[in-house]
Amino acid sequence: MPDVPQGAADEFSQAIARAIEDAKAAAGLTTRDLIKRSGLSANYYYRRARGELPFTTNDMSALATACGVTVGDLWSRAQDSLTPKVKSPEEVVSERVHKLLAVAQAQFPKLDVQGALLASDVAQESHLTLQRWQAVLAGEHSDITAEQLVAIATFFGVDESYLTQLELSGTIDDIDARLDVQQAFAQTEARGASSRGVAGASPASLRALARAIRESKRAEE
């Protein structure tokens, strides 16, 4: 196994540092314990734990031994943390529905959004029951119909593709970003501005706007 290259810590080196931190916590060690057991100096350890420099494989060996794991364990944990988790179709839909629900609840805090959905004409016509709605939220809805997903999308005022098309497309990304902005405006009680000046903005610009809105609100508090 080659040494991690010297110089500023890259993404994988930072993942190694996080894996060491996780192993330390799992072993019930304090940072002082880990430094003492590994034989590294405090300054040497902290610079690498902060990501300023990478740990070498010799460092990893000493730290792994101190934590009661192997270098391979640390390596695998780091790789796993950088590997995107493949989500099931149910998980994708569940995440999007949770976002729709969160936006609606932020915009209409006094409204029973779930009750309004289930009482709506589109839900009634598609036979969307409380049990099926809860299954969607839990990501356990393999038997839900396309008609019911369309009903949910219609109720929340988004294009049906947001729930029926799983692959990330320009349309889905745009809807997702606009929901972020709507939620940010609602959470900061600036709803009136939500429809102005963002019609032609890209998803990246919309997400930047959402972050700016939230940061501005925090700065005022």
Total number of domains in the chain:
2
Tokens matching residue 183: 């939620």
Q: How confident is the model at residue 131 (pLDDT cuts 50, 70, 90)?
A: very high
What average pLDDT does the structure give for the chain?
Answer: 83
Residue 121 and residue 52 share a domain: no
82, 100, 133 — which closes off a domain? Answer: 82
Residue 214 and residue 156 share a domain: yes
pLDDT at 202 over 60: yes
**What pLDDT, in 10s, does the model give residues 65-84?**
999 999 999 999 998 888 77
Q: What single letter denotes the amino acid at residue 88?
A: S
Task: Measure the CA–CA gap between 173 and 175, rounded to whole angstroms.
Answer: 6
| Predicted TM-score (pTM) above 0.75 | no
Task: Measure the CA–CA gap between 178 and 180, rounded to whole angstroms.
Answer: 5
50, 82, 114 — which closes off a domain? Answer: 82
pLDDT at res. 164? 92
Residue 106 and residue 181 share a domain: yes
Give every CB contact of residue 53 below 8 A, 6+ residues apart in sequence: 6, 7, 8, 9, 47
Q: What is the DSSP letter of 197?
A: S
- On whether residue 5 sits in a domain, the answer given is no
pLDDT, greater one: 177 or 68: 68
64, 82, 100 — which closes off a domain? Answer: 82
Residue 166 and residue 123 share a domain: yes
What is the distance in angstroms between the CA of the first residue and the CA of the last residue of the chain?
A: 50
Residue 116 and residue 158 share a domain: yes
Residue 99 and residue 196 share a domain: yes
